[in-house]
Structure formats: C-alpha cells, structure tokens
Chains A and B, each alone.
Chain A
Amino acid sequence: MKAATYEPEIMERMRSVGWKIGQTYTSTPGGNYLAFVPIRSGLAYLHWSLDMEVIKAVQAEEGDAFNGARQTIRLYDVSWIDFDGTNAHQQFDIEVDGLWGHYYWRTDRVERYWMAEAGFRLKNGKYRALARSQTIFMDRGGRCGRSSTRGMYVGGRFERVVPVDNIFDASTYERIHRSWSGSLAEDLEITFFADDPNEESASRLRNYLAELHQATDPLGVHFEDGTDGNTTKPKLVHAHDIDSVKDAAKLAKTHKVPLVLSVHASERERSGMRGREPDEAILKKEAAALKKADWVITPHSETRNHLIADYGIPEERTMVLPDLFQGVIPQAFDPGTVKKRYHLHPARPLALYSGEVSHAAGADLLMTAMEHVCGVNEEAQLIYAGSGPLRPELEQRAHHAGLGDRIRFVGHVNRDHFTDLLAACEFVVIPARTWQDEGLAQLALENGKPVMTTHQARIGCVNHGQNGLVVYDNPGSVIWGLQEMFNNPRSLGYQGSHHQVSKPQSVDGLAVELCIHYNTILSASKKGGA
C-alpha cells in the first residue's frame, strides 16, 4: 500500500495553497439568479443574487422610468398552466433590498406550483424581471383526500411498464410476470384476421379488437391486420370466427406458425338464442375451421365444453378468454350510487345494521349511541336493514332527533340489495345484548368489511383491533366504538376481499390473459406441439 503521508514539503505546499485561496473567500460571491426551494408545506426559501451590470442595462433601457423603482420578488401561482408571463392564477410582490439576499416565504396555498422572479417594479407599474426561479411544488403537509387504485406493472429495469386499472388485479399481473419467460421475453408480432359476412358484426368485432390490441401493446404484443397485406413473419396467426380461418390458415402455413382460432359464438349457441335449428352448412364450416386451428379460444367454458364434445377438439388446446364486446362492460362498483339510492350522502361513511330491529339485538342501543355520534360527527350515516318490534319507535326517534336523513330504515331488502348495501357500507354493526348468529359477521368479513360488535354477541370471528372492534353493550362503549369506526374504518386495514365486490372485468385484464395464452401456445409450440 501507499505511504500514509506525503513528503513534508508537499504537505506544506498544500497547506499554503489552501490558506492562500481561503483568504479569497467572500460571503457574497455574486451572479445573476434566483433560487426558490421548499422547506416544508407552506414554507419556502428564496435566495437571489443580482448582477449590477444587468441592473445598469435595464436602467439604461428604461431611462427616467427607472427612477424610484422598487426591488421586488414577484411570485406566481403557475399550477397546471404553461406560464407565459401573464396567465398565472395568482401573483403577488414582496419588496426586498440588496443585490444579494434571502427571504423565507410563507403561504397557505399548498398543493400548487409556484415560480418567482427577481427584478424591479417601476413607478409606472411595469415589472422588469432580471432572474427567474425554477418552478417548485408546494406540497401538502398531511394526508391526501384523493383515492385511486390505479397502479402500474414495472418489469425489470423498466423493460415493461404497463398501466393497471386496479391494483387489486395485481395477482393477475403477477401471474403473467411469473409466466413471462421464453417467447414473451421479447415483443411478439401477431397477425390477426377478423372477417364476418355480417357488416355490423364485423364492425363490432373490429372495434373490440382494436381496444384489446391497444391494451396488449404496452405488454409487448403487437398486432397486424392480415387483410392489410402482411410483410413481416408473425410469431402466431390469430383468426376471429370461422370466416377468417381460410386466409389465416394460409398465412400460418406459409410461415409455419401456430394458428389460433377464437370462436366468439358457435352456431349451436346462435341458433339456441334465436330459437332456430342449427344450420348444417355452418356446422360443417365450423368443423372444418376447428380442424385447421392449432388452438381454440372460446369466450366461456360452456362453449369450450360443447366444442370439445361436438367436434372432438383436444381439451388441452382449447382455452377460455371472456369477451367484453358482446355485452355492456360492467362498471366498477360505486358505493355512492347505492347510498344515493337510499337518500344518503354518497361520499359520507355508512354503517350497516342488518337483522331484527329488537331490544335483544341492541337496535335501540345503537340508536342511542348514534344520536350522540351524529352530534359530534357530521358525516356519520346508518342504515337499519330489517324490521322488528322496535322499528316504528326508533324511526320516530331518528326523525325527532333531526337525523331522519342520516339514519334510514329500509326494512327487509332482497339479496341483491343487501349485497349492494354490504359493499357500499364502511362497516357492519352488530350491537346485540345476547348471543347472535355469526353468519352476518362472517359475510361482512368475507367482503372485506370490518365489524363492530359486542362481547355479549359472542361472535368469535371478530378480533378486536384487527378486523373490527368488540365493545360492551352499554351506550358509552358503543359510542366509542362507532366513533373509532367512523373516524377511520380503514385503520383496521380490513379490506382483504375488497376487490371481490368491486372488481369489474377490464380490457386490461383480458389483455394480460391473452398474453398468457400466447405464451402458453408458443411455449408448447417450441416443444413441438403446434
């Protein structure tokens, strides 16, 4: 290893040079700039340095108008605009002094983009900026009220970045990630054919495929329409419905790649739906097409089963991929709509009581507690689903307490409406004074809803502090429990099955599934399958 020290004369030279240069230190080195940096929410720091030469130049330009000009820092709210010097949401001035200085700036306008300029405000009102800062984002200092479950799939070193509609779909994407090897490690070029003699059907199919293919694009699977005249060798040819098979099979044979056939609806299904006999000619055509295809994709398992039974196509080569274009794309579940259905505020938290409205079930206890809770929490809402001896009295109490619009009695509800209510509520209350069946609590927990219950209800599946709260059958204790639940039901973190009730089938999800299918097909083909 090298010596641990330099020669004395070198060290002396270093000290001497260091000392000499150190003497030149100046606390105001100068320049012409404006620095603007955040310190915390609502507090930022401005530091400016102005060059005398630049000021003199402006002075010369402005002439007498510059006399009496005030040195000013001008702040602009430039949130979400392309600032052109005149279109700020807001602007204001701070008078400062000196060619070099700093200023701690406080504001209550957070979650905004700000920019500043250092310059001079002339007597005639004109502002001459000499330096402009970078834009800074003045962030909030607390939790954000926005919620969204949109996510992202990011593979490796950003090899693939895919937007995800709902992170509760993570498991699907992780499945593709695990199977993402071999063929799908590289981008895939697929040629597709989507012919249909019926113009309307063809148009509907093409529109749907355009949407689906757009969703597969970021996954690295790119489609080319076979009818446009194919130029590159595809990895796979995909025919949609039997009328496309002829051309598709020809291309697949030319390039020696697998042919996949999507049967969006079989003749047997169509005839059954329309109440007619199956067309023999079409059945024959269907059989011939299926024979040519190496792999078959059907929209649901029933179609798959009958194609296997009717045409003897191999089970292991028949896959299921749901179609969205045949029906209305289901909307994501909106709890607000359900709350509005019962004339409640759509954005405010809701507790659900379900069962007999009786003394034993603690319905009155809950009402007593809610009267207090509603007094301190202006957002709390409750639905009594069910009926019983106490219902008229409690309904009247709610009305007289001025809470009729926040505590609703909806009587018995059918299964669908109950499912909606369960999905829409923030938590379920079982304030019973005596033993209760665990069914409701279990159902709530399965649906990701925390449960507030009493010790007296003896419901074993609710663990205090984990998936709900267990209180005592007295108003004080129930009030405490309700306040805890209303203030932050999510703090219990119980949303295990949340996605089960809110997840719609999405094109993004289908795109992922389709990619998995392609991967399976190509992997099998490599093994000499197709």
Chain B
Amino acid sequence: MANGYLSFVLHAHLPFVRHPEYDQFLEELWFFEAITETYIPLLQRFEALDEESVPWGLTISISPSLLAMLEDELLRARYQRRMKVLVELCEREQERLKGDPHFKYLAGWYHDYFKNCLDYFEACNGRLSTKFKALHERGNLEVISCVGTHGFMPHLAAIPKTMEGQLENGFAYFESVMGFKANGAWLPECAYYPGLDERLRDYGIRFFCTESSGIEYSNPAPVYGVHAPLFTPSGVAAFGRDHACTKQVWSAEAGFPGDGDYREFYRDIGHELDFDYLKPFLPGDVRSDTGIKYHRITGPGYNKAGYDPESARKKADQHAAQFLSQRVSHIDYLKSTMGVAPVIVAPFDAELFGHWWFEGPTWLDYVLRKAAYDQSSLETISLGKYLDRNPVHQTAYPVTSSWGHKGHFEYWLNGENDWMLDQLTACGWRMVELANSFNQKKTVKKLNDRALKQCARELVLAQSSDWPFIVSNGTSQQYAERRVRDHCSRFHYLASALTEDTVDAKELETLELMDNIFPDINWRVYAEN
C-alpha cells in the first residue's frame, strides 16, 4: 500500500463567451484555443491511460459556464469552422515555408495537430462533455462541478439569494448534462468564507479546495497542515493546495514551463506575418493568435530558436521524473510524521496545461504513468476516492481566503472594479424583489416566466468572477466592463418590463438567442417566500 497520495485537481473554466450577433468574435477564440490546446489533449491522454489500464487518479472540475459552451451548438459549429480555417492556414504555411525544412516540418506538424483535434471533435459530434462523462464513469477521472457562472461567492453572499442562484442553477445544469450529481465543487477562485461550506453541504457537495493559507490559518490550527483535509463543522472536507508543488508547475519563472525547450507562448504567427496574408484566417480585422507558434522559449530576449516538439517532449519527461521524485521524498517524509495517509493536493487551472504550457498535458501524462510504474511510495488519486479511503479528519473552520494575490479578495474588489459589485448587488436585490413578487402569484404568464428566466440568466452572466479579475489584470479590460454593463442593462430592462407587464416577446426572444446559458434556469430560487 502506498505511503500517501498525490492528487491533481484541474479546474476547467472559461467565462461564457458567445456572440451570435456577429459572424465571428475575437473573444470566442479563448474557447476554441482551450479546446484545441487543453481539453482535447487532456481527454486523449486520459483515454489512453484508461485504455492501457494504467492505475491513475485525478479530479477535474468543469464549470457550468464552460459546460454550457461545450454543449452549445453554435459554438461547436464555430469551433469546427475555426479548425478548418487553421488546417487550411497550415497548408498555406507549408507552401510558404518550403525553403526552410525545419519550419516547414513545424507547419506540417501543426497541420496534423489541428487535423487530429478536428477529427476527435467531429467523432464525438462536438460533444466533449460525453467524453468527460465516459471517463468519469470508468472511475479514474473524477469530474466535479463548480458554481453557476463562476460567481465570487463571498461577495455574492451580500444578497444570499443571488449566491443560491449560482449554486442551484450551476449544480442543476451540471447534473442535467453529465447525468450525475457532483461529488465535490470547485469554489470560484478558491474563495471561501466560513459558512459557505454549509450551503455546499445542502447540495450534497462533499469537498472543495482552498488556498493553502485557508487551511494553515484555520481555527483550530491544523494538525497536519495542508497534507490532510479538514472537515468543516458541516462535514464538508476542505483540501488545501500544496504551494511548493504547484509553484513548480505554474510559475513561468521558477517552474518547469519556463524551460528553454518548451514552446514560446508569445510568438504567434498571428502577430508576426503579413496582415494581408493572414487576414482570411483571422476572426476579424485585427491581429489575433492563430495557435501556430514556431519558436521555443530559448532564453530571455526576443530572439528565439525554432521549436522542436521532440526535444520538448523529452524535457517534459525529465521534468515529470524530477517532479515525481520530489513528491515521493515528500510523501515518505510526511508518512513518517503523520498518523493518517498524507495527500499532496496540486490544484491548477486546467488551461495551464496545453494553453499556457503547451507541453503540460504531456508532462501530466508522464507524471501519472511514472507514478503508476516507477515508484511505490505514492498513488495518484481523485479527492473523492481519497475521502472514501480516509474518512476521518480534524474538524476546523478554514480561514476566509482565495487563491488570488496574498490570498485575499482584493483582486476581485478594489478601486478599479468595485463599481461592478455595486451593479451586481443592485441587480441581485432587484432579482430577489422580482422573484418574491412573482412567486406569490398563483400563475405566472408564460411570457413573464420566460422573462424572469432571462433576468436570472443576465444576472448570472454578469456575476462571473472573470470580469473583475480581467479588469484588475488589465487585459481585455474593455470587453469585461462591457459584458457587465450589457448584462446589467439587459437585466434592468427586462425587470422594468416585468414590473410594468410590458415584456416584448420579440425582444425577449432576441435576448434569449444572445444570452442562452442554462436553458432551464430556475428563477424561483431567488424568492425568499
């Protein structure tokens, strides 16, 4: 029996980015890139592990907003279209680079890569959720949920019913797509406050992850630090992330992804080649990433050497061995000091693997395989299975925390973005008022019922924690601000129409087409009566 466990937790999430009002939309690329570089590569590797009967375990959370995009027919069709464009671009690139053997090879390599993704996507009719579901049912991959549209729960708690809307609608949508209730939940931004666990418990959620300080500063102090979960007084387990181990993976400076052999993220041909040549392959009239990146990190400075997938693969192999040997030593040591089986929890944004760190899925695959065959100290495991095997833990309240800067909430609430919370609170308060008022009526007109659902959709879309994050981050700031303003104004527009009983069916239908998340969203959850 292993001395302890290593548990990777990948959090797959993107804000709901879908713009049917335009033929193509730049921000939809976020979704397409994540499918190509992260979700499909991860799925393919997980399937291979299962097919080869490798003993492995991992937890992945899929946010309901991402799930809604993965299920959306329009976005699926657009992804298909995008991949065909990229395959064509690679063909053009091979022609353009015929005088340069290495770069021509790379263009061909990308051609095969995109083609492979497209084939995989088409083979499942674009429904990647079915692939995740199948893996979950085989037992090694544990798929868990997140809340609604990734709302920042400690801040939504100001109007508790709006938090409830995120929880109920998110978990219900997850169940409707995946066919099972989530065993655990990823808290958006790992943001926790004492009391949130009770709400999770009411939805049958058994565990969640927190920042390491959430566990380390818990009350009472944790006996085993972050290497064993704590049960909150409500019985929901809180796992703390192991900082040393995660930093090695996510840090571009101190971690593996910064190695010179790995692919350079910032040298995309979309920003380098002649604009007229690229224009037919771009989603608009501005330059954007194509996903074709010919260079490796090489070192500091702009001059970069050509990317070599084989060298990068070998480096991923080495780094996986290095990572694993450090975890093995750590587990052996922890076992000698702990009365229970230690667990190292390594949570990451799933998009780190593949999108930000192109070789990430390969590295992960190697770690899982080496953990299965090259040592016997640790076992990779999903968090749910760990709890099944180790059901006794200390009881404590984790401290209020998030995985943001300094472990606080400042990134999501500061002078730059506090207006967003003001707007969300105003919408939330009005939503509760509306729900209270309509919930009292014996019957609600079908049109009004639809409008109430749409109000709930606009509210949850505005509540995504991504918007204040993007504003603090300074990237795509205008887009994030626009999204909050748009959803809030659509919400108030409909709310006023409902109050005055003047809902316009045509306008409502248009809004339903545009913001179509969670078809069966429950507006009554906002009612206090």
Residues of A within 8 A of B (CB): 1-6, 10-11, 13-15, 17-18, 21-27, 29-33, 35-41, 45, 47, 49, 100, 102, 133-134, 136-137, 139-158, 161, 163-164, 167-171, 173-174, 177, 466-467, 493-496, 498-499
Contacts and interface: CB of A to CB of B under 8 A. Distances in A.
Contact of B514 (A14, A23, A149, A155): A14
B76 A154 contact: no
A146 B221 contact: yes
A39 B408 contact: yes
Contacts of B388: 156
A322 B74 CA distance: 68
A372 B158 CA distance: 52
Contacts of A25: 485-486, 488-489
Interface stretch (B18-26, B273-281, B308-316): B18-26
Interface in B308-361: 333-334, 336-340
A174 B392 contact: yes
A137 B400 contact: yes
Contacts of A39: 408-410, 413
B510 A17 contact: yes
A4 B80 contact: yes
B253 interface: no
A139 B406 CA distance: 15
A143 B74 contact: no
Contact of B126 (A1, A26, A31, A161): A1
B216 interface: yes
A484 B333 CA distance: 20
Interface of B: 20-23, 73-74, 76-78, 80-81, 125-126, 154-155, 157-160, 183, 193-195, 201, 204, 206, 216-221, 223, 225, 231, 235, 237, 333-334, 336-340, 387-396, 399-400, 406, 408-410, 413, 418-419, 421-423, 425-427, 429-430, 433, 485-486, 488-490, 492-493, 507, 510-511, 513-514
B395 A168 contact: no
B488 A29 contact: yes
A150 B492 contact: no
A142 B23 CA distance: 51
Contacts of A151: 231, 392-395
A102 B158 contact: no
Contacts of A142: 217
Nearest to B227: A493
B458 to A, nearest CB: 10
A301 B340 CA distance: 28
B409 A153 contact: no
A446 to B, nearest CB: 12
A170 B78 CA distance: 53
Contacts of A139: 193-194, 399-400
Nearest to A154: B235
Contacts of B21: 11, 14-15, 18
A134 B74 contact: no
A167 B160 contact: no
Nearest to B81: A4
A410 to B, nearest CB: 29
A406 B73 CA distance: 75
Contacts of A174: 340, 389-392
Given A2-B74, A22-B486, A496 B337 contact: yes
A144 B23 contact: no
- 5 closest pairs, A vs B, by CB? A40-B408, A35-B158, A14-B21, A139-B400, A25-B489
A468 to B, nearest CB: 12
A151 B195 CA distance: 18
A33 B429 contact: yes
A259 to B, nearest CB: 31
